[in-house]
Amino acid sequence: MVFKSILSFETNYAFKHFDCGDSNLNKYLKTFAYLNDENNLSKTFVGCDGEAIIGFITLCNAQIEFKEMPESYKQTMPKYPVPAIKIARLGVDTKFQNKGYGKELLLFAFKKIIQVSVSTGVKAVIVDAKENSKGFYEKYGFVDIGNNTFILLVDTLIDGLL
In whole angstroms, how close is the CB of 58 to ligand COA at the nearest point? 10
The total of other beta-carbon atoms located within 10 Å of residue 75's CB is: 7
Which amino acid is residue 92, in one-letter code? V
151 beta partners: 126, 143
Taking alpha carbons only, the member of 110, 154, 102, 152 closest to residue 127 is 152
**Least distance to ligand COA from the beta carbon of 140, Å?**
8
CA angle 114-105-62, nearest 5°?
A: 50
- Interface residues with ligand COA (CB under 6 A) are 20-22, 25, 90-92, 97-103, 127, 129-130, 132-133, 135-136, 139
CA 162, CA 156: separation in Å to the nearest integer? 10
Residue nearest to ligand COA (CB): 102
CB 148 to ligand COA: min, Å? 9
- Of residues 122 and 127, the one with the C-beta less far from ligand COA: 127
Measured from the CB atom, the residue of 72 and 98 that comes closer to ligand COA is 98
Q: In the bound complex, what is the minimum distance in angstroms from residue 86's beta carbon to ligand COA?
A: 11
